[in-house]
Amino acid sequence: MNSRFEAVNKAFEQTPVYGAPPAMKTSDYYGCHVFNRAAMRKYLSRETRKMIYDSIEGGLLLDKSAAGYVAAGMKQWAMDLGVTHYAHWFQPLTGGTAEKHDSFAEPYGKGGCIEEFSGRLLAQQETDGSSFPSGGLRNTFEARGYTAWDPSSPAFIIGDTMFIPTVFVSYSGESLDYKAPLMRSINALNKASASVLSLFGEEFERCVTYLGWEQEYFLIDRELYAQRPDLVMTERTLMGHSSSKNQQLEDHYFGAIPMRVLAFMQDLEYEAYKLGIPIKTRHNEVAPNQFEIAPVYEEMNLAVDHNLMVMALMKRIAKKHGFKVLFHEKPFKGVNGSGKHCNWSIGTDTGVNVFSPGKTDSENLRFYSFVVSTLRAVYKHGGVLKASVMSASNAHRLGANEAPPAIISSYIGDQIADALDEIGSGEIAKMPSKRGRSVGIPQIPELMFDNTDRNRTSPFAFTGNRFEFRATGSSANCALPMIALNSAMAEQLIEFKSRVDAYVAEGKELEQAILSVIKEFYVDCKCVCFDGNGYSDEWKDEAKCRGLDCETSVPLVFDQYLSESTKRMFESTNVMTESELEARAEIYWESYCMKLDIEARTLADLAGNHILPVAMDYQSKLASGVANMKVILDEQDYEKATAAQKEYIMELADHIANIRSECKAMISICDRITDKDPRDRAIVFHDEVVPYLESIRDSVDALELIVDDRAWPLPKYREMLFVR
């Protein structure tokens, strides 16, 4: 048996058919490891609970005196569940999460200890910020960074540690994380939404911004992963010929979930439910070994935290089941990559969804007001929205015939487009209700069809009662695109309200003033609406004619963070300062460079130490065979018998020479540009190094089809892409 399968088969035999969550209802243990309202009722006084609720729901500053009471209650709750440590849990600009564990145990002078957790330790901690990306906001020798408790996201327990969600800021106050600007953007959008809703006489206490994420991912056998240095180093295969069977039969999508994968999913759901994460959906995705998990939508700040928690859980639980989970957007060439669709909506505490068409003229007017404001936000700030989802890894996925193109447009459907055109004539168009349709089978009742179809090629599509930002990459922190989207929308809603107020001041009736602004907004941004095939070359040409941003170079896309319109948007909504934007642009350029540098050096090492020795050894065997045949065959038979071998030898020689010379040239470029400015260096990586990565890969993949399979040193696609 091939040695690369021995460990996998052993693990497979020992894996149970199904996971083993407790024999109880989900509702019996849901949220048991979260300091939620049920835990607060048990461990906090009524007065303390009220202060926390006022902070969470009313946006009020939490009284410092409450922190001590909350800390005491949290400590007792955690210790009752066997917890011994606590950690401030934050989201640095690495894209992942960070934590430093401290023990509750506090020694005292007579050889003993007590468990201590004060309000001061809960509310704020100092951590070493020098090794986290800062984009020039601080010098390396300036080490202070501060984490500050976020009361709106509850503490949770994993293992023996209680984790406290926090923001992370520098000594001088700039945000060094994703949570702080996300919370600012949510506050800005909720405030702007409330202002516009006041035009329609809505009764509510607060607005809420919602997010529902859909997490796609790959699973492969851990033993095979360990035998692929490119996956270990970069999370994607830098070489590998396509399997003859991959996704072309379309038989994996929504197919029966493999038993090993189902066991993994069941364990994952069990752990997620204990953390109060409302997982709802699980299914096979399009590519082999690709799957998706999705929760019910939640308040955005909590939803982002839950996504990061789930990603961490997936890594840990996959190991238990003999898998490695891959979040890279394109780990395998030739099959679909992975995204993280972000379903975004705005509502009120009274149950109103501003993106749901209504039954009255006022409700429909409200619906169109928010839709056109969204479209105008996408039109005005499409560049920074694209920058918010762009990365070295997502660049492999965007624009391929599997994911939204690298052109930000919006699909709204014919009926909404027709209704907005009708508003141009001064009328309030009514959205038709869902329509019934028979399928022609007596036993099947009439189906209710939505007003709009779905366009999977659109990066920003209206899907019935929300917008779906489909361009986000699977490995990303979805806070990043949400920060940009919330801020862009807040800016447009502020302008919408200002224009309506101006028309009313001029003597227009309120309804006509709102209609006028809707018409102006839609005329201004109509070119961002596109309902056709976003994958087509014709759309790329048309988008350019419409004046939409069609840039595909990752380093140049990041320039959008420094555009004047972007700076105005973020500063006017108090989400990020100019220095914070400049820092992020530098961080993203540096990250792009580092990832490409790692890929280039990993590929060169793999080619030189794994591929070329095997290819040259096989070439030598062929040459030896050709030489030996000359001894036993006459000249005519010899030429005929060795023609194929000689052809293989020459092909091998060409590919070996190409790989050798191109690897040397590629590494020479990487070494030459080490001292360049981050942006200039990123441009060189994009323009000069990426083509070498593709060219070297083509040569290696060609060798894979020539060299004896028994000698090939790496697991192949056909071995990795199907769960055993």
pLDDT band at 16 (very low <50, low <70, confident <90, very high): very low
Residue 446: predicted pLDDT: 53
Per-residue pLDDT averaged across 97-118, rounded?
Answer: 87
Question: Residue 137: which pLDDT band, with cuts at 50, 70 and 90?
Answer: low
Percent of the chain residues topping a pLDDT of 90: 68
- Residues forming a β-bridge with 98: 90
Q: What is the pLDDT of residue 14?
A: 47
pLDDT at 12 over 50: no
Determine the average pLDDT of the residues in 130-138. 68
pLDDT more than 70, % of the chain: 89
Predicted pLDDT at 102: 92
The predicted structure's pLDDT at residue 233: 97
Please state, in angstroms and rounded to a whole number, the distance separating the CA atoms of residues 94 and 403: 24
What's the first-to-final CA gap in the chain, in angstroms? Answer: 15
CA distance 515 to 617: 76
pLDDT per residue over 549-579, tens digit each? 999 999 999 999 999 999 999 999 999 999 9
* Residues in the chain, overall count: 724
Q: Minimum mean pLDDT among 170-184, 216-230, 288-302, 545-559: which range? A: 170-184
Position 20 pLDDT exceeds 50: no
Lowest mean pLDDT among 118-132, 272-286, 287-301, 333-347: 118-132
Cα three-residue angle 332-338-341, rounded to 5 degrees: 170
Buried b (16+ CB within 10 A) or exposed e, 497-520: bebbeebeeeeeeeeebbbbbbbb
CA distances from 419 to 30, 144, 271 (A): 44, 55, 46
Per-range mean pLDDT, top range of 100-109, 265-274, 526-535: 265-274
Q: Is the model's pLDDT at 441 over the cut of 60? A: no
d(CA 92, CA 175): 9
Q: Are 682 and 689 within 8 A, CB to CB? A: no
Identify the band that residue 442 occupies on the pLDDT scale cut at 50, 70 and 90: low
Rounded Cα distance, 297 and 279, in Å:
10
Query: Is 57 within 8 Å of 206 (Cβ atoms)?
Result: yes
Is 472 within 8 Å of 342 (Cβ atoms)? yes
Cα separations in angstroms, 71 against 48, 60, 453, 480: 11, 19, 50, 30
- Measured between alpha carbons, how far is 181 from 632 in angstroms, rounded to an integer? 78
Q: pLDDT digit string (tens) for 497-523?
A: 999 999 999 999 999 999 999 999 999
What integer pLDDT is reported at residue 291 of this predicted model?
Answer: 96
> Strands 144-149, 161-170: parallel, antiparallel or unpaired by DSSP?
antiparallel
Q: How confident is the model at residue 110 (pLDDT cuts 50, 70, 90)?
A: confident
Q: How confident is the model at residue 17 (pLDDT cuts 50, 70, 90)?
A: very low
Predicted confidence (pLDDT) at residue 278 exceeds the cutoff of 80? yes
User: Picking from 59-68, 456-465, 621-630, 649-658, which range would have the lowest pLDDT averaged per residue?
Assistant: 59-68
Distance, in Å, from the CA atom of 717 to the CA atom of 246, rounded to the nearest integer, reads 9
pLDDT at position 406, please? 83
pLDDT of residue 3 exceeding 60: no
Asked if residue 391 has pLDDT above 60, the reply is yes
pLDDT digits (tens, 9 = 90+) for 468-482: 999 999 999 999 999
pTM for the model? 0.92
Residue 5 pLDDT grade (very low, low, confident, very high; cuts 50, 70, 90): very low
- 673 pLDDT above the threshold of 90: yes
Beta bridge partners of 282: 293
Mean pLDDT of all residues in 108-129: 81
Q: What is the pLDDT of residue 425?
A: 63
| Predicted pLDDT of residue 249 | 74
Indicate whether 432 pLDDT > 80: no
Do 357 and 367 form a contact (C-beta atoms < 8 A)? yes
pLDDT tier at 139, thresholds 50, 70, 90: low
Candidate from 18-22, 113-117, 567-571, 584-588 with smallest mean pLDDT: 18-22
The pLDDT-based confidence of 8 (bands split at 50, 70, 90) is very low
- Confidence grade of residue 630 (pLDDT, cut at 50, 70, 90): confident
The helix/strand count (H/E) of the chain reads as 26, 19
Would you place residue 15 in the very low, low, confident or very high pLDDT band (cuts 50, 70, 90)? very low
pLDDT over threshold 60, residue 681: yes
Is 62's pLDDT higher than 50? yes
Mean per-residue pLDDT of the chain? 89
Q: What dihedral angle (degrees, nearest 10) is formed by the CA atoms of 37, 41, 46, 51?
A: -30
Radius of gyration (Cα) for the chain, nearest Å?
Answer: 29
